[in-house]
C-alpha cells in the first residue's frame, strides 16, 4: 500500500531544508530546520528566525534524529504471540493486522455495543491533525465511549475560568516587562526553557525573581528568592496574601469596583486568613508571607507565571481560581508584564477551529457514555460497567507509565477478554500489552500545524522525509481502519491537507509555510483584561462563584486539606511528589533511548536528612517506597532540596529501569481534581523503609 503524498504546495526553503515545529507536549513548540541528504535527515537545528525558541532546541530534541532512525523504532504492524505484557510479538502485514482489528471490533460491538470500545489518547504529538482529528469521526461511527478528563492543563483553564469567565492569560513573552516575576509551581528552566531568557531580560531591567515550589528546583536555585510551602497548601498562602492586601489597603479600588463582583464577601472571608494562620498550614513563616504580599502589590508590574504542577491535587482547580483573584485586587492586569501568564491555548481558539473534526452525526443517534482518561485502571477493571470495556485503542500516550493507578491499569490490560490496539513509535510499557501494534510516523515524516501553549506562535511542520518502513501518520491509521471496517462515509477518509485547511481558514497559511511559523493575529501588546472584559455576561470577574455551590464546593476561594495528603496524615507517612526532573526526557518519551535514560542515570527517591535519619537510611541505600497501591525499590538520595515530610521520585522512567514492573505511577492517587477533570497525582502518601 502506498502512502499518499502529504503536501505538494510551494516549497518554503532551499531544496534540502524543511521547516518544521516540535510536536512534543511542551510549552515551547520550537521551530526547527531539518536538513535532508539523499532522502534522509542529516541535521536538525533550531530555526533562528523563531521569535520564541530563537534557534535553540533542547537536550531531548537535539537528538531527535537518533530517535527517528533508532533501530528500536516500530516500522511495521505487530501481532502479539506471548502473554499480555510479555512484549512477544511477530511481524504482520498491514492487511492482516487491519483485518484482525476489524473482525475483533465488529465482534465486540455486535456482542456488547459500541460503548464497549474505548479510545485513550494523549498528547504524544500536539499537532493539530495528528493529535486528534479523524479519530473523532472514527469513534463516533463506532458509537464508542468518549474519553473525558485530562492529564494536563484542563484543570488550570477551568480553575481560572471560574474567576475570570475565560481561560485567557497574559502573553508569557511579556514577562520581559515585569519587575516582579513569581514562578508559582513551575520549573521554568527545565520544563519551559525558552521562556527563561525572557525572564533574564526582565532581571537585566531590575526585576526580582521569586519561585514558589515545595522543591528547591533548578529554577528555584536560579531565583532571587525561593518560598517553599508544603505541597498542596498554596491556597492558604494566597488567602493570606489577600488578607494583607486588603488589611493594608494595597487594593486597586477603581479596578475592583469597575471590573469585579463579590469584593465585600471576599473582604469578610479573608479577614481571619492572617499570615499567622497560613503559616501553620504552609510551613512558610508569617513575615515571608507579609513581605510577598507587599512586594506583589508594590513592585510593579508583577507577573504570576504558572503551568501545571499545582493542578495535580484534589484542590487543583481551586488553586488556579484562587490565584486568579490576586491580580484582580491589585489591578495588575492593567500593566504590560502584569496579570497571570498560564498556558495560552485560549488565544488560538478564535483562529483554529477544532470543531471541524467532529462528525457526531456518524454516531446515528447512538448514546455514547463518557469515561475519564484518568480512571483507565478503574474502568478496565470495573466489571459493573455496563457494558465493560472490551476493546481499547491507545495512541499518542503511554498510560502504563504516565497515568495514576498504574498497577490497576496493568491488571486491566492483562484481561483476556480485552482486545487492545496501540499505535506507537516504540515498544512502550503500554504497547507491550497490545494485541496489535501499529507503527506511527514521527514529526519529520508527516505534515501538521502546531499550536503552542507557551507562546503566541503557531508552527508549520513540513514533512522532511517519506515515512520510514511502513509507519503511517495517525490520520492515515484512522483512514485505513475505517476502510477495513467496511465504512464508506467520505468524512472518515478526508486527507491531511484538507483537514488542516478546514481548521485554519482564518490563518495566513502561506506565511506560515514560508516562515515555519506565524504569530496569532492578536495585537502586539496583548492585555486581555486591562479594561475588564472578563468572560461573563456582565464582563466582570467574580470573587464569589455561585456555580460551585451546586457541586458542593465553597463559593469563595477556600483552602481545604486533601483527603490523602500531609496535612491530614499521621507522621509515618510521607507525601510523594513525582515531578519532571530530567532534561533529556519529555514525560515517558526518551527514557528508553540511548543518550537519554543512560545519561540521566536511574530512578531514585529523594528524601530529607531528617526523614532518612528517622528510618536509619543512608545515602544510596536501597529502600522500599510503598503504599497500598504499589511498591518500588529505589536508591535513596538524601537532599536538602525537600522539606521533611516530602519525598520525590522522578517521573518518566519505564518499568525496565526499575527492579520490578512498577514505576512512579504505581504509587500515585487517581482521585480526580475538584473540577476541571484533572487528577491528584501529588496527593499521594507513601512509607519508606530500608531494605
Ligand atoms: N524536560 C522536560 N520538560 C517538560 C516535560 C518533561 O517531562 N521534561 N513535560 C512537559 C509537560 S507535559 C508539561 S505539562 C510541562 C509542565 O511544566 P511545569 O508545570 O513547570 O512542571 P511540573 O514538573 O509538572 O511542575 C512544576 C513544579 O510544580 C511544583 N509543585 C508541585 N506541587 C506544588 C504545590 O503544591 N505548590 C507549588 N507552588 N508548586 C508545586 C513541582 O515541585 C515542580 O517543580 O512541562 C513540559 N516540559
Ligand atoms: N507521576 C506523574 N505522572 C505524570 C506527570 C507527572 O508530573 N508525574 N505528568 C503528567 C503530564 S503533565 C502529562 S502531559 C502526561 C503525559 O503522558 P503521555 O501523554 O502518556 O506522554 P508520553 O509518556 O510522552 O507518551 C507519549 C507517547 O506518544 C508517542 N507518540 C509521539 N508521537 C506520536 C504520533 O504521532 N503518533 C502516535 N501514535 N504516537 C506518538 C510517543 O512515542 C510516546 O510513547 O503525564 C502525566 N503523568
Ligand atoms: S521538547 Fe520543548 S524545548 Fe525541546 S525542542 Fe520540543 S518544544 Fe522545544
Ligand atoms: Mo503535561
Q: Which CATH architecture has domain 566-690?
A: Beta Barrel (2.40)
DSSP string, 104-164: HHHHHHHHH-GGGEEEEE--SS-BHHHHSSHHHHHHHHHTPPEEE--SSSHHHHHHHHHHH
Mean per-residue pLDDT, 414-427: 98
pLDDT at 31: 98
pLDDT given for residue 646 in this prediction: 96
Strands, sheet with 208-212, edge to edge from the N-terminal-most edge strand: 225-227, 208-212, 180-184, 302-305, 339-341
CA atoms of 582 and 253, how far apart (whole Å): 45
Q: Is the pLDDT of residue 363 over 90?
A: yes
How do residues 243-296 score in pLDDT, each as one tens digit? Answer: 999 999 999 999 999 999 999 999 999 999 999 999 999 999 999 999 999 999
**Cβ-based neighbours of 339, under 8 Å, separated by 6 or more:** 169, 170, 303, 304, 327, 332, 333, 527, 528, 529
Mean pLDDT of 113-140: 98
Alpha helices in 222-324 (DSSP H): 234-247, 253-259, 263-269, 275-282, 286-298, 316-323
Rounded to the nearest angstrom, the gap between the alpha carbon of residue 566 and the centroid of all alpha carbons in its chain is 25
* pLDDT(5) > 90: no
- pLDDT given for residue 6 in this prediction: 45
Q: Is 26 touching ligand 3 by the criterion CB < 6 Å?
A: yes
CA of 192 to the centre of ligand 1 (A): 9
The whole-number average pLDDT for the span 638-658 is: 95
466-491 tens-digit pLDDT = 999 999 999 999 999 999 999 999 99
Output the residue whose Cα is nearest ligand 1's atom 5.
586
- φ/ψ (deg, to 5) at 174: -70, -5
End-to-end CA distance of the chain: 55
Lookup: cell for 46:
533550531
Q: Relative to the alpha carbon of 30, which ligand is closest?
A: 3
Q: Which residue, by CA, sits nearest to atom 13 of ligand 1? A: 26
pTM, full prediction: 0.97
Which ligand 1 atom sits closest to the C-alpha of 312? 32
Q: Is 333 helix (H, G, I), strand (E, B) or coil?
A: helix
Would the pLDDT of 571 be above 80? no
Burial of 562 (0-12, 13-18, 19+ CB in 10 A): buried
Report helix, strand or coil for 221.
helix
Residue 225: pLDDT band (50, 70, 90) is very high
- Going by alpha carbons, the residue nearest to atom 25 of ligand 2 is 397
Residue 584 dihedral angles phi and psi, to the nearest 5°: -100, 5
Question: What dihedral do alpha carbons 332, 333, 338, 344 form, nearest 10°?
Answer: 150
Is the pLDDT confidence value at 215 over 70? Answer: yes
pLDDT band for position 570 (50/70/90)? low
Which pLDDT score is estimated for 3? 35
Residue ranges per structural domain of the chain: 79-149+349-439+469-505, 154-342+542-551, 566-690
CA dist 401 and 388 (Å) reads 23
pLDDT reading at 132 higher than 60: yes
Asked whether 106 lines ligand 1 (CB < 6 A), one says: no
Let me know the angle formed at the C-alpha of 459 by 505 and 466, rounded to the nearest 5 degrees: 100
| 3-state secondary structure (DSSP) of residue 448 | strand
Is 566-690 in the same CATH topology as 154-342+542-551? Answer: no
Ligand 2 site residues, Cβ closer than 6 angstroms:
25, 122-125, 130, 151-152, 308, 395-399, 401-402, 423-426, 428, 440, 474, 578-580, 586-589, 651, 664-665, 668, 681
Ligand 4 center to residue 197 CA distance, Å? 22
Q: What is the mean pLDDT of residues 300-310?
A: 98
Nearest-CA residue for ligand 1 atom 41 is 309
When pLDDT is averaged across residues 329-349 and rounded to a whole number, the result is: 97
CA dist 45 → 57, 60, 264, 670 (Å): 7, 12, 55, 39
pLDDT at residue 465 in the model: 97
Q: Which atom of ligand 2 is nearest to the CA of 25?
A: 14
Give the mean pLDDT of 189-195. 98
**Residue 169 CB-density burial (10 A; 0-12 exposed, 13-18 middle, 19+ buried):** buried
Ligand with the closest atom to the CA of 126: 2
Evaluate if residue 558 carries a pLDDT over 80: yes
How many other C-beta atoms are found inside a 10 Å radius of the C-beta of residue 594? 12
Q: What is the pLDDT of residues 597-645, one digit of tens each?
A: 999 999 999 999 999 999 999 999 999 999 999 999 999 999 999 999 9
The domain 154-342+542-551 having CATH identifier 3.40.30.10: the answer here is no
Q: Which ligand is nearest to the CA of 666?
A: 2
Does the beta carbon of 215 sit less than 6 angstroms from any atom of ligand 1? yes
Say what the pLDDT of residue 661 is.
84
Helix (H) or strand (E) holding 90: strand 89-91
CA–CA gap between residue 533 and residue 333 (Å, rounded): 11
Cis omega before residue 243 (within 30°)?
no
- Closest by Cα among 158, 330, 261, 268 to 541: 261
CA of 463 to the centre of ligand 1 (A): 30
User: pLDDT grade, residue 568 (50/70/90)?
Assistant: low
Q: What is the pLDDT of residues 364-397, one digit of tens each?
A: 999 999 999 999 999 999 989 999 999 999 999 9
For residue 640, the tally of other CB atoms under 10 A from its CB is 8
Question: Position of cell 534524529?
Answer: 65
- pLDDT at position 490 is 98
Our answer on whether the CB atom of 688 is closer than 6 Å to any ligand 1 atom is no
SS3 of 56-73: CCCCCHHHHHHHHCCCCC
Question: Model confidence at 565, in pLDDT bands (50, 70, 90)?
Answer: confident
pLDDT at 596 over 50: yes
pLDDT score at 15 = 58
Task: Establish whether residue 25 lines the binding site of ligand 3, counting it when its CB lies within 6 angstroms of any ligand atom.
Answer: no
CB neighbours of residue 426 within 10 Å: 19
Cell of 666: 504505581
Q: Which set of grid coordinates corresponds to residue 375? A: 480512571
Q: Are 68 and 468 contacting, i.e. CB atoms less than 8 angstroms apart? A: yes
- Quickly state the pLDDT bin for 12 (edges 50, 70, 90): very low
Of 446, 587, 678, the one to substitute when testing ligand 2's pocket (max ligand atoms within 8 A of C-beta) is 587
- Give me the chain's average pLDDT, please: 96
Is 7's pLDDT higher than 80?
no
Residue 564 contacts residue 557 (beta carbons within 8 Å): no
**What average pLDDT score do residues 506-517 get?**
97
SS3 199: helix
Q: Give the three cell numbers for residue 121.
A: 489518547
Question: How would you list the strands of the sheet with 17-21, edge to edge?
Answer: 17-21, 31-37, 40-46
Q: 17 near 32, Cβ under 8 Å?
A: no
Mutate which of 213, 317, 578, 663 for ligand 1? The one with the most ligand atoms within 8 Å of its CB, which is 213
Beta pairing, strands 630-639 & 646-648? unpaired
Task: Output the nine-digit C-alpha cell for 462.
Answer: 513540513
Ligand 1 atom nearest to CA at 212: 38
CATH class for the region spanning 79-149+349-439+469-505: alpha beta
Q: Which residue carries 517553599 as its cell?
A: 228
Would the CB of 491 count as within 6 Å of ligand 1? no
Answer yes or no: is the C-beta of 58 below 6 A from any ligand 3 atom: yes
Q: Which residues pair with 638 in a beta bridge?
A: 607
Amino acid at each position: 500500500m502506498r502512502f499518499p503524498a502529504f503536501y505538494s504546495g510551494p516549497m518554503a526553503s532551499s531544496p534540502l531544508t524543511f521547516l518544521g515545529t516540535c510536536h512534543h507536549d511542551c510549552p515551547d513548540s520550537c521551530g526547527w530546520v531539518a536538513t535532508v541528504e539523499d532522502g534522509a535527515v542529516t541535521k536538525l537545528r533550531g530555526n533562528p528566525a523563531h521569535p520564541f525558541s530563537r534557534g535553540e532546541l533542547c537536550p531531548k530534541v537535539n537528538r531527535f534524529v537518533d530517535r527517528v532512525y533508532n533501530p528500536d523504532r516500530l516500522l511495521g504492524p505487530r501481532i502479539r504471540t506471548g502473554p499480555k505484557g510479555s512484549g512477544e510479538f511477530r511481524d504482520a502485514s498491514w492487511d492482516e493486522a487491519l483485518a484482525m482489528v476489524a473482525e475483533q471490533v465488529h465482534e465486540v460491538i455486535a456482542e456488547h455495543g459500541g460503548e464497549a470500545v474505548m479510545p485513550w489518547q494523549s498528547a504524544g504529538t500536539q499537532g493539530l491533525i495528528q493529535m486528534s482529528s479523524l479519530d473523532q469521526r472514527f469513534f463516533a461511527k463506532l458509537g464508542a465511549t468518549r474519553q473525558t478528563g485530562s492529564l494536563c492543563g484542563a484543570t488550570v483553564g477551568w480553575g481560572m475560568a471560574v474567576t475570570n469567565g475565560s481561560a485567557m492569560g497574559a502573553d508569557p513573552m511579556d514577562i520581559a516587562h515585569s519587575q516582579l516575576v513569581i514562578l508559582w509551581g513551575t520549573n521554568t528552566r527545565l520544563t519551559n526553557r525558552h521562556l527563561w531568557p525572557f525572564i533574564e531580560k526582565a532581571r537585566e531591567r531590575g526585576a526580582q525573581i521569586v519561585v514558589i515550589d515545595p522543591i528547591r528546583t533548578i529554577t528555584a536555585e536560579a531565583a532571587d528568592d525561593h518560598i517553599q510551602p508544603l505541597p498542596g497548601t498554596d491556597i492558604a498562602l494566597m488567602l493570606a496574601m489577600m488578607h494583607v492586601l486588603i488589611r493594608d489597603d494595597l487594593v486597586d479600588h477603581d479596578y475592583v469596583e469597575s471590573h469585579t463582583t463579590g469584593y465585600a464577601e471576599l473582604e469578610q472571608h479573608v479577614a481571619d486568613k492572617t499570615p499567622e494562620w497560613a503559616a501553620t498550614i504552609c510551613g512558610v513563616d508569617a513575615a515571608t508571607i507579609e513581605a510577598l504580599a507587599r512586594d506583589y502589590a508594590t513592585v510593579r508590574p508583577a507577573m504570576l507565571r504558572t503551568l501545571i504542577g499545582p493542578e495535580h491535587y484534589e484542590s487543583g482547580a481551586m488553586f488556579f481560581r484562587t490565584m486568579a483573584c490576586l491580580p484582580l485586587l491589585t489591578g495588575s492586569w492593567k500593566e504590560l508584564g502584569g496579570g497571570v501568564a498560564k498556558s495560552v491555548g485560549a488565544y488560538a481558539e478564535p483562529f483554529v477551529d477544532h470543531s471541524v473534526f467532529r462528525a457526531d452525526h456518524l454516531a446515528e443517534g447512538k448514546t455514547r457514555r463518557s469515561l475519564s482518561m484518568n480512571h483507565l485502571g478503574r474502568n478496565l477493571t470495573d466489571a459493573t460497567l455496563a457494558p465493560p470495556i472490551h476493546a481499547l485503542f491507545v495512541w499518542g500516550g503511554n498510560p502504563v507509565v504516565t497515568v495514576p493507578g498504574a498497577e490497576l491499569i496493568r491488571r486491566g490490560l492483562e484481561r483476556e477478554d480485552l482486545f487492545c490496539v496501540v499505535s506507537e513509535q516504540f515498544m512502550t510499557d503500554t504497547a507491550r500489552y497490545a494485541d496489535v501494534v501499529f507503527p506511527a510516523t514521527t514529526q519529520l515524516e508527516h505534515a501538521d500545524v502546531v499550536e503552542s501553549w507557551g507562546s503566541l506562535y503557531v508552527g508549520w511542520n513540513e514533512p522532511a522525509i517519506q515515512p520510514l518502513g511502513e509507519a503511517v501518520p495517525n490520520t492515515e491509521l484512522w483512514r485505513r481502519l475505517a476502510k477495513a471496517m467496511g465504512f464508506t462515509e467520505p468524512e472518515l477518509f478526508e486527507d491531511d491537507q484538507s483537514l488542516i485547511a478546514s481548521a485554519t481558514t482564518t490563518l495566513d497559511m502561506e506565511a506560515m509555510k514560508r516562515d515555519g511559523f506565524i504569530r496569532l493575529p492578536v495585537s502586539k501588546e496583548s492585555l486581555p483584561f486591562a479594561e475588564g472584559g472578563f468572560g461573563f455576561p456582565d464582563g466582570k470577574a467574580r470573587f464569589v462563584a455561585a456555580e460551585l455551590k451546586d457541586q458542593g464546593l465553597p463559593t469563595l476561594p477556600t483552602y481545604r486539606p486533601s483527603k490523602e495528603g500531609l496535612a491530614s496524615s499521621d507522621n509515618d507517612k510521607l507525601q510523594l511528589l513525582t515531578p519532571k526532573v530530567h532534561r533529556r526526557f519529555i514525560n515517558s518519551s526518551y527514557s528508553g533511548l540511548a543518550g537519554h535514560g543512560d545519561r540521566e542515570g536511574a530512578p531514585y527517591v529523594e528524601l530529607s536528612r531528617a526523614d532518612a535519619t528517622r528510618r536509619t537510611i543512608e545515602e544510596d541505600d536501597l529502600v522500599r517506597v510503598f503504599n497500598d497501591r504499589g511498591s518500588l525499590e529505589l536508591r535513596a538520595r538524601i537532599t536538602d532540596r525537600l522539606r521533611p515530610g516530602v519525598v520525590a521520585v522522578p517521573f518518566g522512567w519505564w518499568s525496565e529501569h526499575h527492579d520490578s514492573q512498577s514505576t512512579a505511577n504505581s504509587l500515585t492517587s487517581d482521585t480526580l481534581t475538584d473540577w476541571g477533570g484533572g487528577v491528584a497525582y501529588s496527593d499521594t502518601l507513601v512509607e519508606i523503609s530500608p531494605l
